[in-house]
Structure 1
Amino acid sequence: MKKLIIIFVWLQGVVLPAIGQTLPDSSNVKLPKPAPDKNELKYNLNESGSHYFKVTFLNQTWLRYNQSNPGTTVMGEPASETFDIGLRRTRIQLYGQITDRAFIYFQFGQNNFNFLSQNAGNRKLQAFFHDALTEYTVFKGKNYLKLGGGLTITNGLSRFSQPSIGSILTMDVPVFAQATVDQTDEFSRKLSVFARGQVGKLDYRLAISDPFPITTNGTTPPAISANSSFAQRGHHKQYQGFFTWQFLDKEAHTTPYMTGTYLGAKKVFNLEAGFITQAKAMWHISEGIDTVYTAMNLWSVAAFLDTPLNTDKGTALSAYAGYFNYDFGPGYIRYNGSMNPANGTSLPISGIANTQGNAFPMFGTGSIVYSQLGYLFPKDMLGEGNGTLQPYASLMYADFERLADPMAVFNIGINWLMKGHTSKFSLDYQNRPVYNADASGATVSSARRGSVVLQYQIFI
């Protein structure tokens, strides 16, 4: 026992102090700083990172209340209102600069997936390739000219005809700008060869597209009538162009997609113009006998502003105003409702399909004025790490030949940007007109309907 006590005392008095002298003073030790969050999934293919491959993921979940159009039915039952949960978009992007000149891009995913989304009874047949393209940079290290081809959203007409949906200002894109969506394209994508580039302040893109037949879009095409519709005979190429004069900062040029709002990271002011044309794209019956083929001619002009207001506070302004002129032939009209929560109506309008649920005449021969405005509040206005708010408003005002009166659809909403576009909530209210049938066709009534949508977006 005495030996154990002696050993213990020796350890206390000699060994432990000696060890303590060799250990660093913890009060002076600097702990390593935590690594910053990575905001991208990127694998460098060379040491400099000029060759790389990147993956992104996006998911937009909707919770929606909708006041139904008159006569709406859901699975055969009358529904004056609906509440649904859905996936507006679920996407995976894979792309990269493989060599100094070779770029490759793929996008895979699904859209508008809610309880009514089953395809021929199989609700699993929804995901598909949106894009699959290759691109060659003609002048090494310069954006003067890129030549590409494949399944692509590289379009003419407008910036909203090829939107980067992860960065849009409003909760949803103005779908009317994707003028042939799911008619002769695949969710606005087409088989195309294209040239695009930036020369000085000019950003341009030109494309020749091979449109899909209307008979393969998954629905029964309308019968030929006195009102124009997409022709079910013949096949002609589509020609497109879009031009932007960039007065201030140049916009990104990695992919064909165009940013919705930069949240104050860039100072952008553009004047924009674009077109889409296709010979004999449409047909109708004249005087009840003759089949007449007409061209589809669409064009637009617009101004786009996205700029910081106070760089120290982080405030910014985003604004857009555009004029669209659509010629689909005489009397063309098409209803559309994003991720429509209804599938039937007891009050159909003669010659017009899919008028139920949240649909309104989104496409037609005539003219459209569209504008949107958003304001970004100071960064961290909700407290450090809680992000900030961005209220917005938009208006679509259309004067379509088939309608007796002009149509106005407006949206107001607010984005809660918890981490920019990476993690954000959007609350949106839309108000739209309701149309009735009368002896002259479709004409506006005094009624209007609304919908409220809460969206959560995650994007990396």
Structure 2
Amino acid sequence: MKKLLFSLFGAAISMGTLQAQTDSTQQAPAPETITPVKNAATEDKPIKFNLNENGTHYFQATFLNQIWFRYNESNPGTTVVGEPAAHTFDIGLRRTRIQLFGQISDRAFLYFQFGQNNFNFNSQIAGNRKIAAFFHDAMGEYRITKGNQLKLGGGLTIANGLSRFSQPSIGTLLALDAPVFAQATVDQTDEFSRKLSVFARGQIGKFDYRAVISDPFPINTNGSTPVASTNATFSGRDHHKQYQGYLAYNFWEMEGHNTPYMTGSYLGKKKVLNVAAGIMSQKNALWTKEANGSTKLHNMLLWSTEAFIDTPLNTEAGTALTAYLGYYNYDFGPNYIRTVAQMNPADAASIDPNVSSVSGGGNGFPMMGTGNIIYGQLGYLMNKNLLGQGHGQLQPYATFYRANFNLLNDPVNVYDIGINYLISSHKVKLSFDYQNRPYFNLNNQVNGRRGSYIGQLQLFI
């Protein structure tokens, strides 16, 4: 894997240098932005400070708040602060973020993201390390070539090799929330999917690539005490680097390349079709406890293939299609499994003796594990005059998640249907989502299903 990534680095540098030589008479591309897709006729100006007279050097700020209003049908045995709770209603801040970024010279780019996640009534329990806001990203990069053929960078960054949704632009999502399973080590050996990394990324012809070497955090830095068991868990010893690579081929337009984040929905403002593959590996990342009491270390190897399309259907009516399909193959070691509950409104554990611990309490379900996952999204941007001219657009969507994990005897099928009311593009957006998920019995078979009803207000400037 190391040889593969170093070869990719070398090839990227060689190809980037060659491309730079052949394009030596071209001008560098105009600076991109990571603000929402814009309608030039009506959009307000960004919060942007020019550092030179022509604006090619600049520094910019954005602010995002995603507020959730949620009714959840609890998994059996759920408690809230120790009391049984068959259902819950909570109000929370799913994400509150500030971005500060800029092209500070012809080739140097600086990026910070500061904020917090998952702040609700239940977030201030003792031991929660994410009450305070923190830096999500603090990275810089230098463009080696005149165009985007080769950029080298590093720092605390989400630049990732696994998939599109391992580095999602959360301000432009199609569905209510990002598919967190694609951030496969989230808050285990990383900080909300960010790692201390060095990377090379760029666009050569129709190809978009990135190669990343990360220094993952030890598992005990997330507040847990690592203990080996018969099922694989992240190891408490033997530290190794993580290697990642991602390659996409674009059939139509190239996607933006200002930051490593990847757009969820362009709302028909671009015509994008690409296929991609990604990989992530780490030596001795996990361990198990053997029958004789010794521990055995296991390598982590994760890979994916995916396809993404976002295209206008009728430019006069403003209709558009967004769709995604991905296959993920995860090897975390024997019978690894992890249950995740996004902004859990309840206590993490279930007290029902007939429910498997893999279900968890509140809104949890098994999300990552050794096995394979198929995930898809489909969204349709409706006629811009459906609600009357100037009154925004509707964008219904559906997603499905199907995981076959080695530890479970039934697949994990999770369905979401929802609708976005795009009052002002992604800038002012109301969303409603219904999610249906399974819970499991002691034989690790599906024993029933529960639902969540979530409203979200997104404000993004």
Q: TM-score, normalised by structure 2?
A: 0.88
Q: How far apart in 2 are the matches of 1:188 and 1:132?
A: 13
Q: In the alignment, is residue 330 of structure 1 matched against residue 334 of structure 2?
A: yes
Q: How far apart in 2 are the matches of 1:107 and 1:332?
A: 31
Listed as ranges, the gaps of 5+ residues in structure 1 are 1-34
Structure 2 match to 1:111: 117
Q: In the alignment, is residue 86 of structure 1 matched against residue 87 of structure 2?
A: no
Q: How far apart in 1 are the matches of 2:418 and 2:280?
A: 31
Structure 2 match to 1:265: 269
Structure 2 match to 1:65: 71
Amino acid at match of 1:311: T
Q: How far apart in 2 are the matches of 1:217 and 1:353?
A: 20
C-alpha spacing 1:348/1:112, structure 2 compared with 1 (3 Å) = farther
Q: Decide whether the 8 Å contact of 1:156 with 1:242 is kept in 2.
A: yes
Structure 2 match to 1:25: none
Q: Decide whether the 8 Å contact of 1:226 with 1:288 is kept in 2.
A: no
Amino acid at match of 1:205: R
Alignment partner of 2:288 out of 284, 288, 302? 284
Query: CA RMSD, aligned part only?
Result: 1.7
Q: How far apart in 1 are the matches of 2:408 and 2:321?
A: 35
Q: Residues 44-63 of structure 1 correspond to what in structure 2 (within 5 A)?
A: 44-63=50-69
Structure 1 match to 2:104: 98
| C-alpha deviation, 1:118, in angstroms | 1.2
Q: How far apart in 2 are the matches of 1:433 and 1:150?
A: 39
Q: How far apart in 2 are the matches of 1:412 and 1:453?
A: 11
Q: How far apart in 2 are the matches of 1:86 and 1:48?
A: 42
C-alpha spacing 1:271/1:48, structure 2 compared with 1 (3 Å) = same
Structure 1 match to 2:232: 228
Structure 2 match to 1:396: 401
Aligned residue pairs, count:
420
| C-alpha deviation, 1:348, in angstroms | 6.4
1:307-346 Cα deviation digits (max 9, x unpaired)? 0000111000000001000000001001001000001421
Amino acid at match of 1:81: H
Amino acid at match of 1:133: M
C-alpha spacing 1:216/1:350, structure 2 compared with 1 (3 Å) = farther
Q: In the alignment, is residue 294 of structure 1 matched against residue 295 of structure 2?
A: no
Alignment partner of 1:176 out of 172, 177, 181? 181
Structure 2 match to 1:446: 447
Q: In the alignment, is residue 164 of structure 1 matched against residue 152 of structure 2?
A: no
Q: Secondary structure at the match of 1:216?
A: helix
Structure 2 match to 1:355: 360
Alignment partner of 1:152 out of 132, 149, 157? 157
Q: Secondary structure at the match of 1:420?
A: strand
Q: Secondary structure at the match of 2:442?
A: strand
Structure 1 match to 2:459: 458
Q: Residues 303-322 of structure 1 correspond to what in structure 2 (within 5 A)?
A: 303-322=307-326
Structure 2 match to 1:376: 381
Q: How far apart in 2 are the matches of 1:94 and 1:179?
A: 26
Q: Decide whether the 8 Å contact of 2:428 with 2:458 is kept in 1.
A: yes
Structure 2 match to 1:187: 192
1:165-188 Cα deviation digits (max 9, x unpaired)? 000100001000000000000000
Q: How far apart in 1 are the matches of 2:229 and 2:340?
A: 20
C-alpha spacing 1:139/1:348, structure 2 compared with 1 (3 Å) = farther
Alignment partner of 1:246 out of 246, 250, 253? 250
Q: TM-score, normalised by structure 1?
A: 0.89
Q: Decide whether the 8 Å contact of 1:119 with 1:126 is kept in 2.
A: no
Q: Secondary structure at the match of 1:437?
A: coil
| C-alpha deviation, 1:120, in angstroms | 2.8
Listed as ranges, the gaps of 5+ residues in structure 2 are 1-40
Q: How far apart in 1 are the matches of 2:128 and 2:247?
A: 42
Instruction: Name the larger-Rg structure.
Output: 1
Question: Structure 1 vs Structure 2: percent identity of aligned residues?
Answer: 63
C-alpha spacing 1:412/1:158, structure 2 compared with 1 (3 Å) = same
Q: How far apart in 1 are the matches of 2:177 and 2:453?
A: 12
